[in-house]
Amino acid sequence: MATGSGGAATDATKIVWNEKQKRFETEDQKAYLQYELINDGKVMDIIHTFVPSSKRGLGLASHLSVAAFNHAQSNSLSVIPTCSYISDTFLPKNPAWKSVVFSEDLKSSI
């Protein structure tokens, strides 16, 4: 079922990179994606995505994921999708981002 103004909430969604806490988060900091940098800062391991129940259904997890993958791609980082949302939901729905995912094959060619 579609609602008339469903896009309004997501249009206003601003995702902020909180470099100090290694998170991408909504401005109110209630929804976030947590990561760790490994391999001398060359690999972003996305470990957790959280959206409170009051904000679910707005596409925030996807917005957070896109922000993280855009950041990784812009900074020549590979991504390890440890978070089950990323590996089981986001990547299957967004296969174009699989090119950013860390591969052992790439590591062996170094």
Annotated catalytic residues are 83
Residue 51 identity:
V
DSSP state of 101: B
Q: Are 16 and 28 in contact (CB under 8 A)?
A: no
What backbone phi and psi angles, to 5 degrees, belong to 60? Answer: -65, -40
